[in-house]
């Protein structure tokens, strides 16, 4: 992204859709002068709303607007910023943007450039910038909370505390360089080796769960089962609409159908998969392969079994479930009692009626028996999913709440450098220990600092801000 210190940028800050109100943002050293050339009132006060009209270069009125001026550095970008509240018609917005861009050194902003300028002017760090993007994209309450915590600096504080610990270790290590005959004693007295190990443990604990990433991207739930088991009926029940075709013809669903749900504030990606069975049909076989892949990738899987058609194939499908990340739904409640009464499981499966658990090959799963055509079954399956999601995301409510692969990779790189430094105590002679360890600690500090931008590179900045929309 090209940045020019002396130019002024402009873009629509609100959604690019016809609406009652549109917000146009102007930022740069000439922001106030440019808007003043078009505006009918003299803008004198900072952070004061003015009502008036905007006129084009031909003297024609463009719109009646409300204008507010934020004098830098007390603005979002740290530069002079003017925000124009106009009518939200697309023609109105385009006419104002065209007039502003016709002025000297005023151009259309690139995606994420307002936020990037805020970062360059020390108004926020990279995790807060990412939090803004996530806040704009948030569709559920829990996504909003996590994004806002990043905007408010909670993630940055965590990463900065790790970086400070590394810098503290580096200071002790560099001090030991001045005492070459005693450097090992100096390092041992400061407990450097033990402190490195403790720091690595803390970093690894932060990436043990992918809950923060799942909260941002969506909790993956796969619906599995034989053809005609009731998978599509369950999908339609959960989505509240005819998402999937329900038919008595086996193999109707041949591909994965994804639906997005909001369950108690948590984002869920529900995948209705093809019926799993042996088949010679090339297309259906591909669908079966995709179904098994979804089961492997899912955070949680629901195996749908028709009690009236229970077979050895159902037992084989149970093997696809993870004991702590799966459940079984018997799709015809009226046939479930027959399944139990006549011991159709042939003693291979244990049912605990009291706590609704299925035990098979040393693995246990929660089960439900539902009538998928009745809405009163919805509350039961939603409650089960909410409990499972809560267990996963509960771990994300404390700690660093890593939400991006970029964060995770930086932690992994940091651990690599720290582990290499830790191993030096056993591998090298005391005369070179401090200098080699100092370099590993510098590399670790650089890796962890990339998350907040303390040690930014152009490539990292481009990666972060390229995902923003224009006007942010």
Average pLDDT over residues 421-446: 83
C-alpha 143/C-alpha 153 separation (Å) is 16
Residues 6 or more apart in contact with residue 49 via CB below 8 angstroms: 66, 67, 68
* Cβ-Cβ contacts under 8 Å for 390 (sequence gap 6 or more): 264, 266
Q: Which structure tokens are listed for 10? A: 């402009």
Identify the helix (H) or strand (E) that includes residue 224: strand 219-225
Highest-pLDDT range among 67-81, 132-146, 179-193, 239-253: 67-81
pLDDT at 354: 63
- What residues have CB less than 8 Å from 370, skipping those under 6 apart? 329, 330, 331, 333, 377, 380, 381
Average pLDDT over residues 355-381: 79
Which tops the pLDDT comparison, 5 or 212? 212
In this structure, what DSSP letter does residue 39 have? B
Give mean pLDDT, residues 22-44: 96
Look at residue 414 and tell me whether its pLDDT is greater than 80. Answer: yes
C-alpha dist (Å) from residue 235 to 45, 125, 382: 57, 41, 12
**Nearest alpha-carbon partner for 54 in 20, 97, 11:** 97
How confident is the model at residue 249, as a pLDDT? 46
Average confidence (pLDDT) over 457-462: 58
Domain ranges of the chain: 8-113, 132-207+402-465, 213-396
Q: Above 60 in pLDDT, residue 250?
A: no
Q: Is the pLDDT of residue 394 over 80?
A: no
Architecture of the structural domain at 213-396 = 3-Layer(aba) Sandwich (3.40)
Most confident of 73-77, 231-235, 241-245, 302-306: 73-77
The total number of residues shown for the chain amounts to 472
pLDDT value of residue 247: 46
Q: Which two tokens stand for residue 81?
A: 């910023």
- Are both 8-113 and 132-207+402-465 of the same fold? no
Distance of CA 331 to the CA centre of its chain: 33
CATH superfamily of 132-207+402-465: tRNA modification GTPase MnmE domain 2 (1.20.120.430)
How confident is the prediction for the chain on average, in pLDDT? 84
Instruction: Give whichever of 28-42, 169-183, 287-301, 447-461 has the largest mean pLDDT.
Output: 28-42
DSSP-assigned states of every residue in 242-276: --S---SSTT---S-EEEEEEETTEEEEEEE-PPP
pTM, full prediction? 0.78
The arithmetic mean of pLDDT across residues 396-411, rounded, is 79
What local confidence, expressed as pLDDT, does residue 463 receive? 57
Token digits for 243?
């998402």
CA distance 1 to 407: 22
Span of 75-79, 173-177, 281-285 with lowest mean pLDDT: 281-285
Q: What is the pLDDT, as a whole number, of residue 384?
A: 86
What is the per-residue burial (b if ≥16 Cβ within 10 Å, else e) of 374-398? eeebeeebeebbeebbeebbeebee
The span from the CA of 470 to the CA of 472, in Å, is 6
State the DSSP string of 81-126: EEEEEEEE-HHHHHHHHHHHHTSTTEEEPPTTHHHHHHHHTTS--H
Q: Over pLDDT 70: what percentage of the chain?
A: 82
Higher pLDDT, 17 or 464: 17
Q: Is the pLDDT confidence value at 80 over 80?
A: yes
What's the whole-number mean pLDDT along residues 460-469? 60
CB atoms within 10 A of CB 114: 27
Tell me what percent of the residues of the chain surpass a pLDDT of 90. 43
Rounded CA gap, 313 and 320, in Å?
Answer: 12
Taking residues 232-261, report their average pLDDT.
70
Burial class (CB in 10 A: 0-12, 13-18, 19+), 361: exposed
Please give the Cα distance from 387 to 403 (Å, whole number): 21
Alpha carbon distance 23, 86 (integer Å): 6
Residue 457 has pLDDT above 80, yes or no: no
CATH fold, domain 8-113, is: Gyrase A; domain 2 (3.30.1360)
If you write DSSP's letter for every residue of 297-344 in order, what string do you get?
A: H-SEEEEEE-GGG--HHHHHHHTTS-TTSEEEEESBHHHHHHHHHTTT
Output the six-digit token pair for 61.
């009125």
Phi, psi angle pair for 425, to nearest 5°: -65, -25
Tens-digit pLDDT profile for residues 295-347: 888 899 999 988 888 888 888 888 888 877 888 888 877 777 766 654 555 55
Range in 163-167, 269-273, 280-284 the model is least confident about: 280-284
d(Cα 445, Cα 417) in Å, to the nearest integer? 9
pLDDT(182) > 70: no
Could you tell me the pLDDT band of residue 70, with boundaries at 50, 70 and 90?
Answer: very high
* Rounded-to-integer distance, Cα 192 and Cα 349, Å: 54
């Amino acid at each position: 992204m090209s940045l020019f210190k002396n130019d002024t940028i402009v873009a629509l800050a609100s959604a690019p859709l016809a609406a009652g109100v549109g917000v146009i943002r102007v930022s740069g050293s000439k922001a106030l002068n440019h808007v003043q050339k078009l505006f009918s009132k003299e803008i004198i006060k900072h952070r004061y709303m003015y009502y008036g009209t905007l006129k084009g270069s031909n003297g024609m009125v463009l719109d009646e607007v409300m204008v507010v001026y934020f004098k830098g550095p007390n603005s979002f970008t740290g530069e002079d910023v003017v925000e124009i509240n106009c009518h939200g018609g697309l023609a109105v917005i385009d006419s104002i943007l065209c007039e502003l861009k016709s002025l000297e050194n005023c151009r259309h902003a690139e995606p994420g450039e307002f936020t990037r300028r805020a970062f360059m002017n020390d108004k926020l760090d990279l995790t807060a910038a990412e939090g803004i993007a996530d806040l704009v994209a948030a569709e559920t309450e829990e996504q909003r909370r996590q994004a806002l915590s990043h905007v408010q600096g909670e993630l940055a504080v965590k990463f900065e505390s790790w970086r400070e610990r590394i810098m503290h270790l580096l200071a002790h290590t560099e001090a030991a360089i001045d005492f070459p005959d005693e450097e090992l004693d100096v390092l041992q007295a400061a407990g450097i080796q033990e402190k490195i190990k403790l720091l690595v443990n803390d970093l690894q604990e932060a990436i043990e769960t992918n809950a923060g990433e799942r909260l941002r991207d969506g909790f993956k739930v796969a619906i599995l089962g034989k053809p005609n088991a009731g998978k599509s009926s369950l999908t339609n029940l959960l989505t509240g609409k005819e998402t999937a075709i329900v038919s008595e013809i086996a193999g109707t669903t041949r591909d994965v159908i994804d639906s997005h749900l909001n369950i108690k504030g948590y984002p869920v990606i529900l995948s209705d998969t093809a019926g799993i069975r042996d088949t010679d049909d090339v297309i259906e076989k591909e669908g079966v392969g995709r179904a098994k892949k979804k089961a492997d990738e899912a955070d949680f899987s629901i195996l749908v079994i028709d009690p009236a058609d229970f077979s050895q194939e159902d037992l084989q499908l149970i093997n696809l479930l993870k004991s702590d990340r799966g459940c079984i739904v018997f799709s015809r409640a009226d046939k479930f009692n027959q399944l139990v009464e006549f011991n159709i499981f042939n003693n291979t499966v244990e049912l605990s009626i009291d706590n609704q658990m299925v035990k098979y090959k040393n693995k246990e799963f929660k089960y439900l028996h539902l009538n998928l055509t009745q809405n009163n079954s919805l509350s039961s399956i939603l409650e089960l999913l909410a409990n499972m999601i809560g267990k996963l995301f509960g771990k994300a409510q404390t700690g660093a709440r890593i939400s991006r692969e970029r964060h995770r990779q930086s932690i992994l790189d940091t651990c690599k450098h720290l582990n290499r430094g830790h191993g030096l105590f056993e591998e090298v002679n005391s005369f070179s220990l401090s200098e080699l360890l100092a370099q590993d600690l510098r590399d670790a500090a650089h890796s962890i600092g990339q998350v907040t931008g303390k040690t930014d590179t152009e490539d990292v900045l481009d990666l972060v801000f390229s995902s923003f929309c224009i006007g942010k």
